[in-house]
Chains A and B, each alone.
Chain A
Amino acid sequence: MSERFPSTYAVLQQHGVDRRTFFKYCTSLAAMMGLEASMVPKVMAAMENKPRIPVIWLHGLECTCCSESFIRSSHPIAQDLILNMISLDYDETLQAAAGEQAEEIRRKIMKDHKGQYLLAVEGNAPTRDGGVYCTVGGRSFLDILKETAEDAKAIVAWGACASYGCVQNAKPNPTGAQPVHKIVTNKPIVNVPGCPPIAEVMTGVLAYILTFDQLPELDRTGRPKMFYGQRIHDKCYRRAFFDAGQFVESWDDEGARKGWCLYKMGCRGPMTYNSCPTVKWNAGTSFPIGSGHPCIGCSEANFWDHGPFYERMAGSVPLPGIESTPDQVGKTLAVLTGVGVGAHLASYWARRAGKRIAGKPVDPAENTTGEVK
């Protein structure tokens, strides 16, 4: 196995990385995925023995910010991913081939690795008027997406576009743009939303799939709990100011200079699930709230249509009441924005879960994966 597909560890060894450093690398990777110390040997084993999974990365209606975020990853770095961890066989942005030569690759991977390749989708498909609003090589992206999804092992839907629809899907959605899960209904899909998603979240999802040879546990909208399990508001370092009633009232006021809570400036933190306050952005440098701007909720469905960003949410979304606590707000919105991932995913996980959890039923309404207790 390792001769034809050199493992990550083999290459690191060849670069002079000793076992101790390799252990540290795997430890930090494991920590980032929220795993316990006992899991580190598993991560190391994966890096030592795994072949590189073929990946086809399609681009539909999008802005390419997901690709750009992806290459910002600080751990693992883009070079490691592309050379050692996955086989990025088709990606219009980075690949050297173009046109017919590029399409040949896509067809070859679909055929040679039928049922084994990972389909990554950035962007989404317009469905109005036969999909003429996004064609690639004379074919509608809608067709290309459906065709490429057919023999994929699983789909990773990068960003708000592929997960929910994003800006082109905002009212009035002139092109009929639809997210992947509304077009492909017979494959396991991992939604990794955000506009774009955090780089280390994107690469973390891939690292998880590669290490554990399974999809991560997903929430009710198909997002990995390991990165979208809690709200910004739950983990925000300015929460103490919220609780103490200390708010920014106007840009660059005394509160702003003291780093007070941005709730009154329209912050969507209370109803947004993402890792921004913990993993943060660009190798932990900062995140929107930390740099003084309220969260705009970019990892939630339809965030573009929840009213002006600088007005508090209460004005435009039916909430229990303006005086609701953020907890109530969060729960209500989770229900409102919940998108059923469908019976297929529940049954997929029921099949997988059956091997790992004896006697524990999977209730699709509760969670989509069968919780490991």
Chain B
Amino acid sequence: MLDDSNHIHDAVSSGTMWRGLEVILQGRDPRDAWAFCERICGVCTTVHALASVRCVENSLGIQVPRNADIIRNIMFLTQMVQDHVIHFYHLHALDWVDVVSALKANPAATAALAQKVSPSWPTSTEGYFKDVAATLTKFVASGQLGIFQNAYWGHPAYKLPPEANLMAVAHYLEALKWQKEVIKIHTVFGGKNPHPNYLVGGMASAISLQGDNAINIERLTMVRGLIADAINIVENLYIPDLLAVASFYPEWTKIGGGLGNYMSYGDLPQNGIADVAKFRFPRGVILNKNLNEVLPVDPADPAQVQEEISHSWYQYPDGKNSLHPWDGVTEANYTGPKPPYKQLDENKAYSWVKAPRWKGQAMEVGPLARMLMGFASGRTDYKEVVTQALGKLKVGPEALFSTLGRTAARGLESQLAVHWLMDEYDRLIANLKAGDSATADTQFWDPSTWKAESKGCGFTEAPRGALGHWVHIKDGKIANYQIVVPSTWNASPRDAKGQHGAYEAALIGTPMADPKRPVEILRTIHSFDPCLACASHVFGPSGEKLVEVKVR
């Protein structure tokens, strides 16, 4: 909803899809749960499988061998880095990069720019950019513009010169070629990507260094090579492009901040999942942008995480409005308009997304939350990359609380993550050298070894943010399974107090140059890296609908 000066003064974020995984999981074997849960999302594949196995292991009291922990870390970081690179180039860049403008670029000038932006990236010659320009020209000349048609090209909000646009388009194609390579790490350990296989108790990919039909040095060396390539991509392609593009949009360090509350469950265990203090992604909550205080968070504490449904299409028993996931209930109750419909009523229930709250507060989760948590926790590696980036962009730390801040945080997190990925590989080798090649613990594999009833909680920091799974196992079967995903937090509708979720809050105050072509909305929503289709509507001051933006 716009005010008279074309600034957004209210926003409604609606999740318009529900499959019912929590209902489908009931009554099933808990050892199967990871496979069902993984199919919650194929973009952030692995994250739900990881949270699920941790959840079931927590419930059954299973401790996985160190190698399995490390392999899971390797898969986790591989996913994070690949996901972030894809997000920047293929899901977000076109909000900032004008593809049609790239056609006007001078290849020699583009080469000069590219070599300045990233001297260590090898493919930056005039001939290379001439080829990319020719490819693009012929494609556009064909008249079949495919995925580039009918977009906002030429919109006044696009600020990059043609050379920067051509460089970005070339790198979009490079990143597209690379993303299919790095995930071979998942294929080595998990058999396939998307949706590699996990296992309650460890990982199924046995290691036999002296054998020739399981994981040995050939597979390990392949993994190492892929990690080295990933470091090159992040350091010499992604980060330089990110900073170069960001430098043209300084006003976006003041737009899209939103809530100012941040949460991270923490992740990347270095000494088992129970030793939270050693996580490389620290756990915590920051309220009201206060980087001087990191509050503790415990996803297993019923008083902390609750899911509200006052504006969501569900019902809870006994007239309740808010439940902790261990007591969670998933009973769909659609009370929205019958399709086809033109708008949703923000005073009623308007989303398939519940409203999770931490101690009654709305939270933003994701790379920005994690970077702030590390920074505020005094971790030197975080301080280093953040200070360096702020220096290059010539802005202060308040710039972090914005759309651009969120986008930059994703890149900086990748910078940390890709080096940690090599660290994890080295940890694996060290452990194998020490004589430990175990990959699974089967002590509690058989249901006959389980208690009659148990509860568990599993969590991870997915690329998009804090992810939690909660299970109640009874007589060897799942009695209840509840999931609160990062986009539940971020895409959350209002709660009973009328408090907005992160997307809604971030949009408020955004100026729009042309309400009929709302690229500004896309910029902010995409900065969260949404993992569902959410529809945002743009309404004029008198309530007339101007345009509707469907964000994937």
Contacts and interface: CB of A to CB of B under 8 A. Distances in A.
A295 to B, nearest CB: 9
B547 interface: yes
Contacts of B341: 135, 138
Contacts of A140: 339-340
Interface string B94-136: 1000010000000000000000000000000000000100110
Contact of A92 (B99, B134, B208, B552): B552
A146 B183 CA distance: 36
A93 B131 contact: no
A173 B19 CA distance: 8
B448 interface: no
Interface string B73-106: 0000000000000000011001000010000000
A336 B539 CA distance: 53
Interface stretch (B32-40, B272-280, B398-406): B32-40
Contacts of B45: 65, 68
B193 A282 contact: yes
B134 A166 contact: no
B16 A296 contact: no
B206 A256 contact: yes
Contacts of B146: 82-83, 86-89, 95
B184 to A, nearest CB: 5
Contact of A291 (B35, B149, B197): B197
Interface residues of A, number: 97
A68 B439 CA distance: 28
A98 B138 contact: no
- Most chain B CB atoms below 10 A, which of A65, A135, A138, A139: A138
A288 B192 contact: yes
A82 B208 CA distance: 42
Given A92-B533, A133-B19, A291 B188 contact: yes
Interface string B197-240: 10101111111100101100000001000000000000000000
Contacts of A290: 191
B244 to A, nearest CB: 20
B323 interface: no
Contact of B149 (A73, A105, A289, A310): A105
Interface string B172-205: 0100110110011011111111111101011111
Interface string A94-135: 111111111011000000000000000000000001111111
Given A79-B173, A281-B191, A11 B135 contact: yes
Contact of A310 (B32, B206, B552): B32
Nearest to A96: B151
A33 interface: no
B138 A167 contact: no
Given A82-B147, A98-B550, A258-B213, A175 B43 contact: no
B399 to A, nearest CB: 26
Contacts of B138: 6, 11, 14
B75 to A, nearest CB: 12
Nearest to B34: A309
B24 interface: yes
B150 A104 contact: yes
Q: When A and B form their complex, which 9 residue pairs have the shortest distance between CB atoms, in order from nearest?
A: A65-B42, A259-B213, A288-B191, A96-B151, A174-B20, A293-B197, A291-B191, A251-B440, A293-B204
Given A133-B352, A292-B204, 14 more contacts: A14-B138, A63-B42, A94-B90, A96-B99, A99-B549, A104-B150, A132-B336, A136-B535, A173-B24, A259-B211, A259-B214, A291-B189, A291-B197, A293-B197
29 contacts: A54-B144, A63-B43, A65-B41, A72-B193, A72-B194, A89-B144, A94-B147, A99-B548, A104-B150, A143-B340, A172-B23, A199-B180, A250-B445, A251-B202, A257-B206, A257-B208, A259-B214, A282-B184, A283-B180, A285-B187, A286-B187, A287-B191, A291-B191, A292-B204, A293-B197, A293-B199, A293-B204, A296-B35, A308-B28
